[in-house]
Amino acid sequence: MCGIVGYAGRRQALPILLDGLRRLEYRGYDSAGVAVLNNGTVEVRRAAGRLENLVERLAQDPIPGGQVGIGHTRWATHGRPSDVNAHPHCDCSGQFAVVHNGIIENHAALRRRLEDTGHRFTSETDTEVIAHLLEAEYDGDLAEAVRRVVAQLEGAFALVIATRREPGRIVAVRQESPLIVGLGRDENFVASDIPALLPYTRRIHVLENGEMADIRADRVTVTDWNGKPVQKAFIDVTWDADAAEKGGYPHFMLKEIHEQPQALADALRGRLDPDGARVVFEDLSLTPEDARRLRQVYFVACGTAYHASLAAALLTERLAGVPARAEIASEFRYRDPLVDEHTLVVAVSQSGETIDTLSALRAARERGARLLGIVNVVGSSIARDCGDVIYTRAGPEISVASTKAYTTQLAVAALLAVYLGRARGTLGDHQARELLAGLRDLPELARETLDQAGELRPVGEALAQARDLYYLGRGLDWVTGMEGQLKIKEIAYIHAEAYPAGELKHGPLALIEDGSPVVVVSTQPDLHRKTASNVQEVKARGARVIAVVREDLDDLGAEVDHLIRIPRVHPFLTPVLAVMPLQLLAYYAAAARGADIDKPRNLAKSVTVE
Ligand code: M6R
């Protein structure tokens, strides 16, 4: 997820671009850059880090002027955050400047082909291939060249392109990644999202997949990629700036919950090869041979990432036939763990900066373990320390309470378990295909799951009155309960505990009394009947039961007070969907209590002290 802005008009472009980027920084902030067309040149300035760094660079090396330009604020997916990986990217001759949001899946093959014909690359990004392809394809008309280029791209992209060969024009295309066009008087705009445009215009077109906008000061033409004109309706935006930044949601947390289908699609993009029943991890140096030599796998992490690790360990053990366990990072490092060169230690982290996880990783390295990161922030400390890393591609997560980072960690953990299982010969072709099909369906099923949000609101609001809450489940469903209880603790400040349902009668059952709210998760066909017995046990003591059940399983007995269905998916993948209602229940309970949802008391997004 990156922020894009473009301008063609009569005013100076640079201040408008910088203002737009400032309003889009919530979409990414690891580097920023602009390109302005000025007197037959493309003036490009880029800087790693926050937007202020770019502003400083511009103060030292100003752009003299120009009424057409493009800008970008980056959230890295390919290539660490740095000056050279910042957008815009240019071709060898500096004629074309490109900004991009998304992932070009076939960039490596395109890059090899271009290098064979003499193109020299300066960055590690997937985006740079587009600038070089434009140089190769341009024949006097930018829109035509862009059409020929996008026909060669696979993946997701929102692109905005400027060239000094046609200085009055920018061209924008959309495939999967969002892009809107803003219409002004003698000036027109393009951006990834509405906040960038609010001070200038409230009349927008939303570009759809497969559409292209040819943007000049006095007109905008929208076509499909074959050049066929498309009649677009206007939308008049009524949001204020704050609401626009949150996509119309009252909090970033709710926005991020609803971004999960897209985040999952991004996490899986280019990594599923159903033809070969294989998982493809570009750039992973852990070879199938290395995987075969492993004798144990540890997942180390904190908080929500630890819960993803619990699921990862269960899946790895089942699918890859290797002992696997999850460890709380702050415990792992102080207990002299028995790890050696046959151990894979996987650090799971959204921020990539959590000091406990980083220290655990260093303790594992000292003992000779092989390291791997499952990380969201590209170029973060954990990603750099591990060397080998699989990025979750969730995009920036602003709310302190983790949501989309968690579900993308679960998806990547499932991919890793399949990868290891195939490499070690413990996962057959048929089962691998079933899992890959399930993974491919996840974004759509996540959308269906979230469609129930409205119905969950009163249920969450009713929980706002609770003093104590209990979450029950078995196996992967217990993991979901663990994450559910953390969510409601951290944002609604309600005391909550999760137990493996079978443990109930060994103690916690004593806590259940008349009216005690109990959230039960049951999505595993082989454990469903057992969990149903535990529901009877708490009901008999007067509990009020909210149950999350996979739609093809029975309703756990008529006494369940509120039944939430999730779509049918492979049992190993249900945690991705089952947690979503629990995120929403926590959110609505916190909202009813008037809590500061995005910034809960006493907590920070990234914990960099022990
Ligand atoms: O950035 P990390 O994933 O390493 O952070 C780990 C935890 O601090 C984090 O998951 C925390 O528990 C969240 N606030 C939970 O919502």
Supply the residue whose CA is at minimum distance from atom 8 of ligand 1.
303
- Check if 426 has its Cβ closer than 6 Å to any atom of ligand 1: no
Instruction: Give the position of tokens 């000094």.
Output: 164
Report the alpha-carbon distance of residue 77 to residue 28 in Å, rounded: 11
pLDDT digits (tens, 9 = 90+) for 104-137: 999 999 999 999 999 999 999 999 999 999 999 9
Q: Cα(596) to centroid of ligand 1, in Å?
A: 17
Confidence at residue 604, expressed as pLDDT on a 0 to 100 scale: 82
Q: Residue 388: which region, alpha, beta or left (left: phi > 0; alpha: psi -120 to 50)?
A: beta
Q: Is the CB of 586 under 6 A from ligand 1?
A: no
Rounded-to-integer distance, Cα 20 and Cα 245, Å = 12
Ligand 1 atom closest to the Cα of residue 354 is: 4
Ligand 1 center to 594 CA (angstroms): 23
Q: Does 402 contact ligand 1 (Cβ within 6 A)?
A: yes
Tell me how far the alpha carbon of residue 351 lies from the centroid of ligand 1, in angstroms: 8
Whether 397 is in the pocket of ligand 1, judged by its Cβ within 6 Å, is no
In this prediction, residue 404 carries a pLDDT of 97
What is the three-state SS of 406-470?
HHHHHHHHHHHHHHHHHHHCCCCHHHHHHHHHHHHHHHHHHHHHHCCHHHHHHHHHHHCCCCEEE
Backbone angles phi, psi at 558, to 5 degrees: -65, -15
pLDDT at 1 (0 to 100): 77
Q: What is the pLDDT of residues 41-97, one digit of tens each?
A: 999 999 999 899 999 999 999 999 999 999 999 988 888 889 999 999 999 889 999
Cα separation, 117 vs 129, in Å, equals: 13
Q: Report whether residue 303 contacts ligand 1, using a CB cutoff of 6 Å.
A: yes
Q: How far is CA 478 from CA 137, 430, 482, 591, in A?
A: 55, 27, 6, 25
How many angstroms is it from 606 CA to the middle of ligand 1? 7
Distance from C-alpha of 441 to C-alpha of 505, rounded to nearest angstrom: 37
Residues of the chain with pLDDT under 50: none
Return the best residue to mutate from 398, 596, 603, 607 for the ligand 1 pocket (most ligand atoms within 8 A of CB): 607
Which pTM value belongs to this model? 0.86
Burial 404-435 (b: 16+ CB within 10 A, else e): bbbbbbbbbbbbbbbbbbbbbeebeeebbeeb
Which of the listed CATH numbers 3.90.1720.10, 3.40.50.10490, 1.10.510.10, 3.30.1640.10 matches domain 254-448? 3.40.50.10490
Helix (H), strand (E) at residue 159: strand 155-163
From the CB of 403, is ligand 1 less than 6 Å away? no
Q: Assess whether the C-beta atom of 357 lies below 6 angstroms from ligand 1.
A: yes
Six-digit token pair at 576? 């991705």
The answer to whether the beta carbons of residues 318 and 293 sit under 8 Å apart is: no
Contacts of 87 (CB under 8 A, 6+ apart): 2, 31, 33, 46, 72, 74, 98, 99, 100, 125, 127
Q: Looking at ligand 1, which atom is closest to the CA of residue 605? A: 14
What are the phi and psi torsion angles at 433 (to 5°)?
-60, -40
Lookup: tokens for 585: 């229940």
Q: Tell me, in angstroms, the distance from the centre of ligand 1 to residue 304's CA.
A: 5
Please give the distance, rounded to the nearest whole angstrom, from the Cα atom of residue 271 to the centre of ligand 1.
25
Q: What is the pLDDT of residue 59?
A: 96
Q: How far apart are CA 582 and CA 566, in angstroms?
A: 11
Ligand 1, atom nearest to 357 Cα: 4
Fold match between 254-448 and 452-592? yes
* CATH code, 3-245: 3.60.20.10
Q: Is the CB of 330 under 6 A from ligand 1?
A: no
Residue 350 CA: which ligand 1 atom is closest?
3
**How far is the first Cα of the chain from the last one, in angstroms, to the nearest whole number?**
30
How do the domains of the chain map onto residue ranges?
A: 3-245, 254-448, 452-592
Tokens of 142: 């930018």
Ligand 1 pocket, residue 400 CB under 6 Å: yes
Instruction: Identify the residue whose C-alpha is closest to ligand 1 atom 11.
Output: 303
Contact between residue 329 and residue 356 where contact means Cβ atoms under 8 Å apart: yes
Rounded to the nearest angstrom, the distance between the alpha carbon of 376 and the centre of ligand 1 is: 11
- Beta bridge partners, 181, equal 190, 205
> Ligand 1 pocket, 606 CB below 6 A?
yes
**Superfamily of structural domain 452-592:** Glucose-6-phosphate isomerase like protein; domain 1 (3.40.50.10490)
302 touches ligand 1 (CB under 6 Å): yes
Question: How far is Cα 305 from Cα 374, in angstroms, rounded to an integer?
Answer: 9
**Among 2, 90, 302, 386, the one annotated catalytic:** 2
AA identity, residue 585: L
pLDDT tens figures, 462-483 = 999 999 999 999 999 999 999 9
Residue 92 known to be catalytic: no
Distance 352 CA to ligand 1 centre (A): 10
